[in-house]
Amino acid sequence: MLKQQTKRLRDRTVITAAILSLMGSNTYAVENGPMGGPHNNDRSTTSPIKHVIVIIGENRTFDHVFATYEPRPGERVDNLLSKGIINKDGSPGPNYAKAAQFSALDNNLYSNSPGQKTPYNNSTNRLQAPGTSYAPQTCYTTVEAAALNGPGCLSTLSEAARGDYGLRPQDLPLLTTGATGIAGNSPDTRILNSSNLPNGPYPLVQPVPGEKTNSLYATYGGSPVHRFYQMWQQLDCDATKVSRHNPSGCQADLFPWVEMTVSSGSNGSPPNPAKPLKEGDIAMGFYNVARGDAPYLTQLARDYTLNDNYHQAAMGGTYANHMMIGYADELYYADGKGDPATPNHVLVPGSNPPVYVDEVENPNPAPGTNNWYANDGYGGGSYTNCSDYTQPGVASIVNYLTAIHVPPNCAPHAYYLLNNYVPAYIGSGATDPINNGPFTLPPVIKQRHIGDQLSQANVSWAYFGERWNDFKTAPGEGTNFGSLDPIAYLYCNICNPFLYSASVMTNASARDTHLKDTLDLYDAIAKGDLPAVSFVKPSTFNDGHPSSSRLDLFESFSRRIIDQVKSNEELWESTAILVTVDEGGGYYDSGYVQPVDYFGDGTRIPMIVVSKYSQGGHVSHEYSDHASIPKFIERNWSLPKLSSHGRDNLPNPQTSDENPYVPQNRPAIGDLWGNFSFADHDHDHN
């Protein structure tokens, strides 16, 4: 059973949600106004934007997608091409060495910037071949098989039609292609020079007899490691490397090394030489938009506003970054009153004799290893009390932050969840105490989300998750792993910030009002009764996540929504559509990273602002992260801050003409206002 749970919890496709039963499903009263009452303030905005739609894909960095993007004349962009790291054809450029990667040594205490670094070469210190971790070798014959195992592509168009309603109809054949033809967890021999990789970024292409290369853009591929302490190391932030142009000292030069040493977690077990790490050097791969990759995202960038300074808000993965979108903060382990508590080493359900799980993260290397974390992973730790500097891993990061004058912003005695755990609630609003107790975050009671603020202000909002209609009626798994309809696995429960919240999940009216399927979104756009604020999440077929999805599927999913909004002239007049991803997925990026607290920021990720007020192909350099989304909503609808210490309290960046990417008033994040041209409609409302 635990083995199956671990498989489900390896990434954001987890659907099972359960917890030790702390209280009844209707225990919590809504304290701050109606959840589904009148929405008479929907149009009370400080800009012409009356509707915001946030479309959230998965796991791509800015350089991974836009490495070779060239903006229109008069605009500049910060990417691998503009830095001279690569040429337009994807080959190494004159400044290729700026992206060189290193191996390091960390065999005592965890270090976010380990020493004894040695550059990779082609003899004694080699890069590993990129892997195909979890990518489908062949397309699945049924939707159910795909949902349980990947997902991935489907072998027939009829199964694709049965399993998917998020793509544009003409793009449905995309879901029937792209399997690797290579066994999972094997070297990806399709990639050019896979056994002799250069020390730096490389194009995701394969050699074709009689031709130069063929892009792997429309195929599935491996998934790099993207966990919290691993990403701190990948970025290699060192206070002694601080400079005027790089005041964080982050060097982003340990991406392959982290993949080759600890990868995606030890689960508290020693290294197993018989099972080598499966990622290899995936992180340095990039697509080439100059040669036709990501055509729709490129078109959006040329027609609207592309932000080349937007960041994942938290180090690591899916859960933590979606919570920043909802709460502008990270969530902590809470007791029945919602106050910070110590993770209680929950009994693993069904174990005999009893087995307890230590849920506190320990990234200190196990004895005799180089960077093999003592307790990390889905069967091991994922909580950290970063207010206690004696806890494993904490001192290294806090000392670095102190040296660059950035407060960690960790609440006393709070054990923050850093990596993917499922919410306490299933779709019906019930809690299930039987399955996955150790890997479930207790109900969030006192931490407020942006939906709470909108409801209190009588502004309408909804979270539209593809396959919600299947998930909300699915029972808890209980002791029978197969009791849940596999199609419900296509819904991403760890992506929904509001599924963790008692204020929504214990109130039937709130659930019905605010938690919807994307089918409801399409109807709302067609009828012109779209909520003021809409969060949109594709199914795991369409979210663009490496291995289980593809970027072209996410493009089609986004295009369907954007085209539908633009076809409604009245709606298009007042709507802004933000197209982004949750995090970089562990891929390399060359952009500046500003640490704003203990949890991040992380690498740059794509952000495209699609609106009548963002037309023209502008490239915005406004420093932003996911907390900028609630910050924009607060400014546009004149809402109070979510708390006294969340990231929405940070000031807007002040920059110089010399370097528009680095805030001079650090730490600072934007409210996205600079991505629009509101002209006379703009107001100073910081």
Instruction: Give per-residue pLDDT as tens, 594-634.
Output: 999 999 999 999 999 999 999 999 999 999 999 999 999 99
Residue 3 has pLDDT above 80, yes or no: no
Looking at residue 378, its pLDDT comes to 66
Q: How confident is the model at residue 479 (pLDDT cuts 50, 70, 90)?
A: very low
Q: What is the DSSP string of 143-212?
A: HHHHHHH----BSSHHHHHHH--SS-GGGGGGGG----SS-TTSB-TTSTTTTS--SS-EE-EEE-TTSS
Instruction: Give per-residue pLDDT as tens, 392-410.
Output: 999 999 999 999 999 999 9
Q: How far apart are CA 549 and CA 529, in angstroms?
A: 31
Residue 20 has pLDDT above 50, yes or no: no
Give the number of residues written for the chain: 686
Looking at residue 351, its pLDDT comes to 74
The conformation of residue 639, written as its DSSP 8-state character, comes to: P
Q: How far apart are CA 439 and CA 344, in angstroms?
A: 11
Residue 358 has pLDDT above 90, yes or no: no
Looking at residue 433, its pLDDT comes to 52
Instruction: Give per-residue pLDDT as tens, 96-140.
Output: 999 999 999 999 899 999 999 999 986 778 899 999 988 999 999
Residue 235 has pLDDT above 70, yes or no: yes
Q: What is the DSSP string of 101-139?
A: -EEEE--SS--SS-EEEEE--SSSSPPPPPB-TT--SS-
Instruction: Give per-residue pLDDT as tens, 56-97.
Output: 999 999 999 999 999 999 999 999 999 999 999 999 999 999
Residue 463 has pLDDT above 60, yes or no: yes
Q: How confident is the model at residue 270 (pLDDT cuts 50, 70, 90)?
A: confident
**Percent of the chain's residues with pLDDT above 70:** 90
Count of C-beta atoms within a 10 Å radius of residue 94? 11
Residue 266 has pLDDT above 70, yes or no: yes
Count of C-beta atoms within a 10 Å radius of residue 148? 19
Residue 480 has pLDDT above 90, yes or no: no
Contact 498, 543 (CB under 8 A): no
pTM score: 0.93
Give the SS3 label for residue 440: strand
Looking at residue 354, its pLDDT comes to 74
Count of C-beta atoms within a 10 Å radius of residue 512? 12
Looking at residue 4, its pLDDT comes to 30
Looking at residue 213, its pLDDT comes to 87
Instruction: Give per-residue pLDDT as tens, 545-603.
Output: 999 999 999 999 999 999 999 999 999 999 999 999 999 999 999 999 999 999 999 99
Q: How far apart are CA 458 and CA 320, in angstroms?
A: 28
